[in-house]
């Protein structure tokens, strides 16, 4: 049976504080290029890997009193996430050699997967860049779609604020809101990203939160009559400032809180009493609960992409060796757009 060298990204040990590139190392092993006879598994060659903020929580030591949103990685083993792959060999009746798929894979050149419904998806729209299935047409796209339309229950004329708005999810939420006829403002961490929000994605306004000494005042300037919908990606001081600026019956979709993931002692929120007086609804969600709606999402978004009404920006790191820096860079705002890793150009 033929074998191949298989490079992998391995977590050295559980991480506290800010993750570092040195917490992840590149190792090599060998892998058989055929799955065992009678197996229900598939061998895939990974083409792209998706860098996502939730992965930081998986680097923590498991805590039964405060479980992570996903199972912790195992030190000494390859980490895993979402990726785009090509089937090399398969014992599964639904997958055959040459199929293109996206879903959960190891951070390595080749992975053996057991395909799971609503966790692994065949790619049928191959007229789009395959990299889109790490973002726009993959998990981040579903997250934006579900979070905005299912959780935020938007209507025409709503005022919408999106934090981390130039990232994989935020850039889509803003564009979905504009398609609804909403007034949309985003925050980001550089002039380049702010310009992107206003000039490429069509946000009505945007600001660099690093240059604002008073977030409450910045939001008041952008939303003099208050915020109807907040798509939460950041947490901490931004969430506090938003609550003070929310309108009665406002809706907050809690997608993520990237400012808190690397802190040993997460920041508290001090304005929570206002959710009672203003009748604000805050709802956390996980797109995994909605993957059964993936075909519905494609029916919605594909026509907009074809018509040029949805734009998407990617930040592509080249080669598996660049994966640790790409992932850690997320938490320092180094990426512009959706961060992903090109593993193989074939």
Task: Give tens-digit pLDDT for 10-59.
Answer: 999 999 888 999 999 999 999 999 998 888 999 999 999 999 999 998 99
Given a contact cutoff of 8 angstroms between Cβ atoms, the answer to whether 2 and 34 are in contact is: yes
Res. 346: pLDDT tops 70:
no
Mean pLDDT for the stretch of residues 175-200: 96
Helical pair 191-199 and 170-179, crossing angle rounded to 10 deg: 30
CB atoms within 10 A of CB 272: 13
In this prediction, residues 332-340 reach a mean pLDDT of 93
Q: How confident is the model at residue 65 (pLDDT cuts 50, 70, 90)?
A: confident
Residue of 264 and 176 predicted with greater confidence: 176
Class of domain 140-288: alpha beta
Q: 190 pLDDT band (50/70/90 cuts)? A: very high
Average pLDDT, the chain: 94
Instruction: State residue 260's pLDDT score.
Output: 79
- State the pLDDT at residue 71: 85
Mean pLDDT of 96-123: 95
- The domain locations on the chain are 3-136+313-342, 140-288
Task: Give residue 256's pLDDT band: very low, low, confident or very high (50, 70, 90).
Answer: confident
Q: Is the predicted pLDDT of residue 180 greater than 90, yes or no?
A: yes
Can you identify the CATH homologous superfamily of domain 3-136+313-342?
A: Medium-chain alcohol dehydrogenases, catalytic domain (3.90.180.10)
Instruction: Judge whether residue 292 has pLDDT over 90.
Output: yes
pTM: 0.92
What pLDDT was estimated at residue 68?
56
3-state secondary structure the chain: CCEEEEEEEEECCCCCCCCCHHHEEEEEEEEECCCCCCCCCEEEEEEEEECCHHHHHHHCCCCCCCCCCCCCCCCCCECEEEEEEEEEEECCCCCCCCCEEEEEEECECEEEECCCCCCEEECCCCCCCHHHHHCCCCHHHHHHHHHHHHHCCCCCCCEEEECCCCCCCHHHHHHHHHHCCCEEEEEECCHHHHHHHHHCCCCCEEEEHHHCCCHHHHHHHHCCCCEEEEEECCCHHHHHHHHHHEEEEEEEEECCCHHHCCCCCCCCCCCCCHHHHCCCEEEECCHHHHHHHHHHHHHHHHHHHHCCCCCCCEEEEECHHHHHHHHHHHHHCCCCCEEEEECCCC
């Amino acid at each position: 049976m033929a074998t191949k060298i298989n490079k992998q990204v391995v977590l050295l040990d559980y991480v506290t504080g800010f993750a570092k590139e040195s917490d992840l190392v590149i190792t090599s092993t060998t892998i058989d290029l055929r799955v065992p006879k009678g197996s229900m598994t598939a061998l895939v060659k990974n083409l792209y890997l998706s860098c996502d903020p939730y992965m930081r929580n998986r680097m923590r030591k498991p805590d039964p009193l405060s479980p992570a949103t996903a199972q912790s990685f195992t030190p000494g083993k390859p980490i895993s996430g979402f990726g785009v792959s090509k089937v090399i060999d398969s014992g599964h009746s639904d997958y055959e050699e040459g199929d293109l798929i996206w879903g959960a894979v190891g951070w390595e050149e080749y992975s053996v997967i057991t395909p799971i419904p609503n966790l692994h998806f065949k790619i049928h729209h191959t007229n789009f860049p395959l990299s889109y299935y790490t973002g726009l047409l993959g998990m981040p796209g579903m997250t934006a779609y579900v979070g905005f339309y299912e959780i935020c229950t938007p209507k025409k004329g709503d005022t919408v604020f999106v934090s981390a708005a130039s990232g994989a999810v935020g850039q889509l939420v803003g564009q979905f809101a504009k398609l609804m006829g909403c007034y949309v403002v985003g925050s980001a961490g550089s002039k380049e990203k702010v310009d992107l929000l206003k000039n490429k994605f069509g946000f009505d306004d945007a600001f660099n939160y690093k240059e604002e000494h008073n977030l409450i005042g910045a939001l008041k300037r952008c939303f003099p009559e208050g915020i109807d919908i907040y798509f939460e990606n950041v947490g901490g001081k931004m969430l506090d400032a938003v609550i003070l600026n929310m309108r009665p019956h406002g809706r907050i979709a809690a997608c993520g809180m990237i400012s808190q993931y690397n802190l040993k002692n997460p920041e508290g929120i001090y304005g929570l009493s206002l959710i009672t007086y203003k009748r604000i609804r805050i709802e956390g969600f996980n797109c995994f609960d909605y993957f059964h709606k993936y075909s519905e999402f494609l029916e919605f978004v594909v026509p907009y992409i074809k018509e040029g009404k949805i734009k998407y920006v990617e930040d592509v790191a080249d080669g598996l060796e660049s994966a640790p820096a790409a992932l850690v860079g997320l938490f320092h705002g180094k990426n512009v757009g959706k961060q992903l890793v090109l593993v193989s150009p074939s």
